């Protein structure tokens, strides 16, 4: 029916509907709507709700009323909260730095011609494929106060004389969870950087070789600069994942001993869900947002600097 | 500048030999083109010269020095790659100065050398651009600039023009030749395009399946190809070959084909009556005549300056090129008269040229 009506109108130039129907932007808008609806419903709305909740004194079973910045004021004076901030920054910085170094090294190694390359590449991915909780349970045994295989081996080798209390001592616990996180996170970094390495044309290395570059100079002047865009992306993701890590900590230590491994995410869960103080938990979670935005901003501006990647019209 | 000597060089990948003993002498200052179909080993040979591939056996010398075990950077050569291999994150000036920077030259020296090369190649305006912002021809010039800056003993070119469009290719061909005439640096240039080889080279090396088929000046290869492969490879459109039997019994020798056509010759090897041969005649050496090889026209392709005719003789196809505009249409029966003084005679079994 619409078709007939429209044909009637074509005499006096195309109708608004017809112009819309052929407009690429209008069609694009329609195609984007379902995705946008999902994002708004399941991402933006809960986020907004969480931020709103942090300004209320909601508890489980009680809607709560607006209390302004009271939750934040309370957190400001809470030493456990600050400890969790410190832990999170330590955890993220140390784990990300090591993941980057080890991942890059592995990627360079895997990019060489070697026997059983495909199998080795697949093996590198294993820690990434295993469900976090499963690997956490394995680590739990590895770090067990009595049955730890590390302690056992070191005692047998005569390096130490008594078991290491991996998850019971503040610093050992921090080191242990950081190690577990690195083990889990390295494959993502390594495989993504490997993909980046493979986009570098081999003839660039040949040209550099003829230009007189040593292996280190080829890395320093060719590989590294060409890899920076993908490094920026992969490290942004890595930092975001590490900063918001919850599963591994919860399965290994639940934030213990004495909050020594509490991250902001685990503390938020403990306060908000287990203790039922939803408002306070939401405030802790909301406090993570500035850190995450800062991480994104750094990588964003890092990427903007690279003029050589951009189009043709910037002389 | 230096001469290059390639002596009995072999190359195997795994157990598979791709170069079977190649010997090529290259004089100081010469422009030598390695030409051949893909897979003939020409690029491998060039890469061995550059030091990017190991030499399985034989020797390569640059100047007086055997370079088999010399590192690429110590060979004092510069290479222009097919895809240019410009560093995308460096400006034109940085690309050109990279090798000097690695050698630890100070910035003033680098700048003056880069500027000099940029003047030669007309790149002065582009020094601050990134490779992305350049056209194909400009990238090609930057790649040459990078080679010039190093002032090497030998320039190596690996199919440098094959990524350019036809018109630009012709222009760059001239430019490279001019550059060589100006710098007089020994140059080894690899291409699969025989026109490039013919127009640019002092000396052409025709390669095929890992061996050298013939080495010679362009016109020498054109006029006196050693074998059927070279005869068919050099020249466009390619030489026609007609199989037949050599007849030498008093009078002028000729070749008789299976369908009875008589192909004229000026002379022929003695005592070879009845020998099975291939008669080679270039398309431009066939005349439109009243007598000669009878052929049926299949396709007429006028290019303006000349007209190319594809015709069938029995079950064989022949190509003729006329500068005159004859009224010929597909389906016509015509006669093609070969010029006996420029006909070529090859042994039908081994393809070698038969000399009178």
Task: Give residue B272's pLDDT.
Answer: 78
Q: Is it the case that residue A69 has pLDDT exceeding 70?
A: yes
Q: CB distance A312–B98 less than 8 Å?
A: no
Give, in words, the CATH class of A70-304: mainly alpha
Q: What is the DSSP letter of B307?
A: E
Q: Is it the case that residue A199 has pLDDT exceeding 80?
A: yes
> Are A239 and A296 a contacting pair, CB within 8 Å?
no
Which residues from A are below 8 Å from B103, CB to CB?
212
Q: Within 10 Å of residue A187's Cβ, how many Cβ atoms? A: 20
Q: What is the DSSP letter of B125?
A: G
The CA distance from B168 to A204, in Å, is: 24
Which structure tokens are listed for B100?
């000097």
Q: CB distance A210–B89 less than 8 Å?
A: no
Mean pLDDT confidence for B248-255: 83
Q: Is it the case that residue A311 has pLDDT exceeding 70?
A: no
Mean pLDDT confidence for B320-340: 91
pLDDT interval class at B282 (50, 70, 90): very high
Q: Tell me which chain A residue has its CA closest to the CA of residue B97.
A: A211
Task: Give residue A309's pLDDT.
Answer: 64
DSSP β-ladder status, B286-289 and B333-338: antiparallel
Which residues from B are below 8 Å from A213, CB to CB?
73, 102
Contacts 24+ apart (CB under 8 A), B347-355: B347/B275, B347/B277, B347/B278, B348/B243, B348/B276, B348/B277, B348/B278, B349/B276, B351/B227, B351/B228, B351/B229, B351/B278, B352/B226, B352/B227, B353/B224, B353/B225, B353/B226, B353/B227, B353/B231, B354/B268, B354/B269, B354/B272, B354/B277, B355/B269
Task: Give residue A304's pLDDT.
Answer: 64
> Are B268 and B345 a contacting pair, CB within 8 Å?
yes
The CA distance from A101 to A81, in Å, is: 30
Mean pLDDT confidence for A91-111: 93
Over residues A155-193, the pLDDT tens digits come to 888 888 888 888 888 888 999 999 999 999 999 999 999
Residues in chain A: 315
Q: Is it the case that residue A115 has pLDDT exceeding 90?
A: no
DSSP SS3 for A56:
strand
Alpha helix positions (H), A54-113: 70-76, 79-110
Mean pLDDT confidence for B251-277: 84
Q: Is it the case that residue B172 has pLDDT exceeding 60?
A: yes
Q: How far is CA A133 from the centre of its chain?
A: 17
The CA distance from B325 to B323, in Å, is: 7
DSSP SS3 for B288:
strand
pLDDT interval class at A13 (50, 70, 90): low
* Domains in chain B: ranges and CATH: 4-232 (3.40.50.300), 239-347 (2.40.50.140)
Task: Give residue B204's pLDDT.
Answer: 95
pLDDT interval class at A11 (50, 70, 90): low
Distances in whole angstroms, Cα of residue B130 to Cα of each of A211, A226, B84: 19, 13, 13
Q: Which of B51, B70, B100, B102 to mutate to test the interface with A (most CBs of A within 10 A)?
A: B102
> Are B53 and B75 a contacting pair, CB within 8 Å?
no
> Which of B89, B129, B132 shows the shortest C-beta gap to A225?
B89
ipTM: 0.82
Q: Is it the case that residue B121 has pLDDT exceeding 80?
A: yes
The CA distance from A235 to A244, in Å, is: 14
Task: Give residue A12's pLDDT.
Answer: 59
Higher pLDDT, A95 or A302: A95
Mean pLDDT confidence for B306-321: 90
Q: With helix as H, strand as E and coil as C, how does B311-335 read? A: EEECCEEEEEEECCCCCCCCCCEEE
Q: CB distance A315–B128 less than 8 Å?
A: yes
Task: Give residue A8's pLDDT.
Answer: 45
Mean pLDDT confidence for B200-217: 94
Q: CB distance A201–B128 less than 8 Å?
A: no
């Amino acid at each position: 029916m619409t078709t007939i009506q429209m044909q009637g109108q074509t005499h006096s130039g195309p109708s608004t509907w017809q112009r819309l129907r052929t407009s690429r932007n209008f069609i694009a808008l329609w195609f984007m709507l379902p995705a946008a609806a999902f994002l708004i419903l399941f991402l933006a709305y809960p986020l907004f709700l969480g931020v709103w909740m942090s300004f209320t004194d909601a508890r489980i079973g009680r809607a709560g009323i607006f209390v302004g910045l009271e939750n934040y004021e309370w957190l400001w004076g809470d030493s456990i909260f600050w400890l969790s901030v410190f832990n999170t920054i330590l955890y993220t910085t140390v784990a990300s730095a090591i993941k980057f170094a080890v991942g890059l090294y592995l990627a360079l190694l895997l990019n060489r011609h070697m026997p059983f390359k495909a199998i080795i590449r697949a093996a590198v991915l294993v820690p990434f494929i295993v469900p976090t909780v499963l690997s956490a349970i394995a680590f739990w045994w590895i770090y067990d106060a009595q049955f730890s295989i590390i302690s056992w081996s070191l005692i047998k080798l005569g390096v130490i004389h008594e078991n290491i209390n991996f998850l019971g001592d503040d610093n050992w616990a921090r080191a242990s969870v950081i190690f577990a996180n690195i083990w889990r996170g390295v494959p993502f970094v390594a495989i993504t950087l490997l993909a980046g390495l493979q986009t570098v044309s081999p003839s660039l290395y040949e040209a550099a070789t003829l230009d007189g570059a040593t292996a280190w100079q080829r890395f320093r002047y060719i590989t590294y600069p060409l890899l920076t865009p993908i490094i920026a992306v992969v490290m942004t993701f890595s930092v975001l994942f590490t900063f918001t890590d919850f599963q591994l900590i919860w399965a290994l230590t639940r934030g213990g001993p004495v909050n020594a491994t509490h991250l902001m995410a685990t503390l938020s869960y403990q306060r908000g869900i287990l203790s039922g103080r939803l408002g306070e938990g939401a405030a802790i979670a909301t406090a993570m947002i500035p850190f995450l935005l800062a991480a994104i901003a750094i990588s964003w501006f890092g990427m903007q600097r690279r003029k050589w990647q951009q189009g043709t019209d910037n002389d | 500048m230096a001469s290059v000597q390639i002596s009995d060089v072999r190359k195997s990948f795994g157990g598979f030999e791709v170069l079977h003993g190649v010997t090529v002498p290259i004089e100081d200052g010469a422009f030598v083109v390695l030409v051949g179909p893909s897979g003939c080993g020409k690029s491998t040979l060039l890469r061995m010269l550059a030091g990017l591939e190991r030499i399985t056996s034989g020797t390569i010398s640059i100047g007086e020095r055997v370079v088999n075990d010399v590192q690429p950077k110590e060979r004092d050569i510069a290479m222009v790659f097919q895809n240019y291999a410009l560093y995308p994150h460096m400006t034109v000036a940085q690309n050109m100065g990279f090798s000097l920077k690695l050698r630890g030259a100070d910035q003033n020296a680098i700048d003056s050398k880069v500027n000099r090369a940029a003047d030669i190649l007309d790149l002065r305006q582009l020094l601050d651009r990134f490779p992305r912002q350049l056209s194909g021809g400009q990238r090609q010039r930057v790649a040459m600039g990078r080679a010039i800056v190093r002032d090497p003993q030998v320039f190596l070119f690996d199919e440098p023009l094959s990524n350019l469009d036809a018109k630009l290719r012709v222009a760059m061909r001239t430019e490279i030749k001019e550059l060589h005439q100006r710098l007089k640096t020994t140059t080894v240039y690899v291409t699969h395009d025989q026109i490039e080889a013919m127009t640019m080279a002092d000396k052409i090396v025709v390669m095929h399946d890992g061996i050298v088929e013939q080495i010679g000046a362009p016109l020498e290869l054109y006029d006196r190809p050693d074998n059927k492969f070279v005869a068919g490879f050099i020249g466009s459109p390619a030489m026609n070959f007609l199989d037949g039997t050599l007849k030498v019994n008093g009078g002028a020798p000729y070749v008789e084909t299976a369908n009875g056509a008589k192909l004229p010759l000026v002379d022929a090897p003695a005592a070879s009556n009845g020998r099975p041969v291939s008669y080679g005649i270039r398309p431009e050496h066939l005349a439109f005549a009243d007598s000669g090889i009878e052929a049926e026209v299949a396709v007429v392709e006028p290019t303006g300056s000349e007209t190319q005719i594809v015709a069938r003789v029995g079950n064989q196809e022949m190509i003729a090129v006329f500068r005159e505009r004859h009224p010929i249409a597909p389906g016509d029966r015509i006669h093609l008269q070969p010029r006996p003084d420029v006909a070529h005679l090859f042994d039908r079994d081994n393809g070698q040229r038969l000399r009178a």
